[in-house]
Amino acid sequence: MNSKIRSWARGVFGWFDERLPISSMWRSQVSRYPAPKNFNLWYIFGSLALLVLVMQLATGLFLAIHYQPNPHLAYWSVLRGIQQDSHWGWLIRDMHIVGASAFFVLVYLHMYRGIMYGSYKKPRELLWLVGIFIYLALAAEAFLGYLLPWGQMSYWGSAVVTNFVTAVPVIGKPIATWLRGSFVVDLPTLNRFFVFHVFLMPLLLLALVLVHLIALHHVGSNNPDGVEIHDNLNETGWPRDAVPFHPYYTVKDLFAVSIFFVVFFWFVFYNPSGWGFLLDKLNYTPANILHTPADIHPLWFFLPFYAMLRGVPDKLYGIMAFAGSFVLLACLPILDRNPVRSIRYRSVLYKVNILSMAFSFLWLGLIAHGLATEHNMVYGLHVTEVFYMTFLALPFFNRERPIRTRIIWLVAAEALVWLVDVWMYSIHAHSWGLMLQTDWIPALYALLLFGLAILFPALTHDAAKLPERLTAGGILH
């Protein structure tokens, strides 16, 4: 009897398998997909981000069922309809809120992993670029969703962001009106933001994630050492430095998922507003078109970009400054052409630079968390310069530079800092005293980075005698 059921089940599965590539896909993409053996902690954030995406879609479905995209109803449909009147509404909503922030934490860590281990280098440039687009789509998704509760911060945040385009000369204002469907953020804006948030952007995100995964499985994973696993095959054609994704990484990811959920549900149950970072306290107040809050903040994951925006004393240039940071990220494969992938085998000053990239980003967030005083604006401008410099200094580390080139880089970097500041001063006359108070930050960073490179050339030396397979195919060699 038992064997009968088994053969029957095999028959049913066989019927499907002949018509859909189920078992062959499973083999090629999961159970016989080679993944490097040496993944470390940094390599779990991708699969966790995928998990959070699924969770956001699932919780979002239930929220959308109870939500009313109408300015008169939206606020209480969330605070009473979802939180009180529907079963488990409070839990699902808090999971969605904490999930949004978790998504950004994971994506930021995932991106920084890519930067540390050179995952954007040949042959993964396109994989990296698709990832940048995923980040942009995610940012748009988060921004659109933030309007829906119709709180004060939702409303005024959306008002500020939809006003960005008015910085474009002549056609800016008509475009802003077209985007909002109204002269101010109102019913048409809420309706379209709702549709984009629950339909357009999730679709786009899923498509981009699929392309990201296809590209990943085509070129294979990078790893903390930057080993090209396909360069070293055994007799059967299996990469010597790889293990099958299933079961090795499925069990590892399950462990990571369990740990993640411990932290995630701690926030959901005990700290759903995350000390006011995950959900701004002011957003508990319903949107009031006649009352502009004294300080309009984005949520924590956009704070660094907010510091860039308000640091530059001109709306259009400010928008270009923060949009430029995405361009720089997308340009990483062009900026960093050193064949060595992993930060492990890069020079000391390169490590300093990559660490400063992360620290200056966090630092910008901290500044933007402060009030919009003139001091904080100028301060933000100067730390933005440090952030930009950590990218613009990358080509310096492409090869070992002769002393003359190192001096030229130092002079050029210092000149750039001061020229930008004179330019900014000419746009809006902050007092020079205020400028100088924080101007030394980028100046000192350039001086230390390139000054140390001049004084101690050893600090710019990558690891010597690196095997060919730890490099990105020798672009320069």
Cβ proximity to other proteins: between 284 and 418 the closer is 284
The number of CA neighbours under 13 Å toward the Cβ of 291 is: 8
Decide if residue 41 touches other proteins (CB under 8 A).
yes
The residue range among 58-66, 171-179, 188-196, 373-381 that interacts with other proteins, by the rule CB under 8 A, is 373-381
Residues in 136-195 at the binding interface with other proteins, rule: CB under 8 A: none
Task: Kindly identify the residues of this chain, within the stretch 293-312, that bind other proteins according to CB under 8 A.
Answer: none
Q: Of the candidates 432, 441, 431, which has an alpha carbon nearest to the alpha carbon of residue 367?
A: 441
3-state secondary structure of 262: helix
Binding-residue total with other proteins (CB under 8 A) = 72
Task: Give the nearest distance from C-beta 17 to other proteins in angstroms.
Answer: 27
Q: Is the dihedral of CA 8, 12, 18, 22 positive or negative?
A: negative
Of 186, 225, 231, 414, the one binding other proteins (CB under 8 A) is: 225
**How far, in Å, CA of 25 to CA of 21, rounded?**
6
Which residue stretch of 14-22, 132-140, 250-258, 400-408 sits at the interface with other proteins (rule: CB under 8 A)? Answer: 250-258
Residues 75/150, Cβ–Cβ less than 8 Å: yes
Options 80, 405, 428, 429; binder of other proteins; rule CB under 8 A: 80
State in angstroms the smallest separation of the CB of 425 from other proteins: 18
Nearest distance from residue 278's CB to other proteins, in Å? 14
Q: Specify the amino acid at residue 27.
A: R
* Single-letter amino acid, residue 182: S
Helical packing angle, 374-392 and 403-427, nearest 10°: 150
Tell me the closest approach of the beta carbon of residue 166 to other proteins, in angstroms.
27
By CB under 8 A, tell whether 77 contacts other proteins.
Answer: no
Nearest CA to 300 out of 134, 129, 434, 157 is that of 157
269, 405, 408, 415: which one contacts other proteins (CB under 8 A)? 269
Instruction: Say whether residue 356 binds other proteins (CB under 8 A).
Output: yes
Closest to 118 in 3D by CA, of 335, 393, 324: 335
Neighbours of 427 (CB within 10 A): 11
Judged by CB under 8 A, the residue of 9, 20, 203, 463 near other proteins is: 463
Q: Of residues 210, 259, 327, 475, which one binds other proteins by CB under 8 A?
A: 259
Binding-site member from 134, 417, 470, 472 for other proteins (CB under 8 A): 470
59 binds other proteins (CB under 8 A): no
Nearer to other proteins, 117 or 135 (CB): 117
What is residue 273's three-state secondary structure? coil
Q: Are 105 and 458 in contact (CB under 8 A)?
A: no
Cβ pair 462, 347 in contact under 8 A:
yes
Question: Within 13 Å and on the Cβ side, how many CA atoms surround 128?
Answer: 25
Neighbouring CB atoms inside 10 A of 475's CB total: 13
Nearer to other proteins, 45 or 345 (CB): 345
Footprint on residues 391-430 left by other proteins (CB under 8 A): none
Contact stretch for other proteins (CB under 8 A) within 202-210, 243-251, 301-309, 415-423: 243-251
In terms of DSSP H, where are the helices of 45-84? 45-66, 74-76
458-468 core/surface letters (b: 16 or more CB in 10 A; e: else): ebbebeeeeee
Please classify residue 178 by burial: count the beta carbons closer than 10 Å to its beta carbon, then call 0-12 exposed, 13-18 middle and 19+ buried: exposed
Among 9, 22, 61, 251, binds other proteins (CB under 8 A): 251
Binds other proteins (CB under 8 A): choice among 106, 130, 165, 227 = 227
Q: Which of 7, 84, 292, 405 binds other proteins (CB under 8 A)?
A: 84
Using CB under 8 A, which of 108, 112, 277, 359 touches other proteins?
359
What CA–CA distance (Å, rounded) separates 94 from 101?
11
Q: How far is the CB of 398 from other proteins (least distance, A)?
A: 19
Among 83, 86, 166, 191, binds other proteins (CB under 8 A): 83
Q: How far is the CB of 344 from other proteins (least distance, A)?
A: 5
Site stretch for other proteins (CB under 8 A), options 26-34, 131-139, 187-195, 372-380: 372-380
Q: Give residues 91-120 in contact with other proteins (rule: CB under 8 A).
A: 91, 116
Phi and psi angles of residue 88, each rounded to the nearest 5 degrees, phi first? 60, 15
Kindly indicate which of the ranges 57-65, 83-91, 187-195, 309-317 contains the residues binding other proteins, using the contact rule CB under 8 A: 83-91
363 binds other proteins (CB under 8 A): yes
Radius of gyration for the chain, computed over Cα atoms and rounded to the nearest angstrom: 25
Of 261, 317, 326, 425, the one binding other proteins (CB under 8 A) is 261
CB of 26 or CB of 248, closer to other proteins: 248
**Under the criterion CB under 8 A, does residue 30 sit at the interface with other proteins?**
no
Burial 314-331 (b: 16+ CB within 10 A, else e): ebeebbebbebbeebbbb
Structure tokens that stand for 118 in this block: 């050179």
Binder among 2, 234, 236, 258 for other proteins (CB under 8 A)? 258
CA separation for the pair 133, 129 (Å, rounded): 6
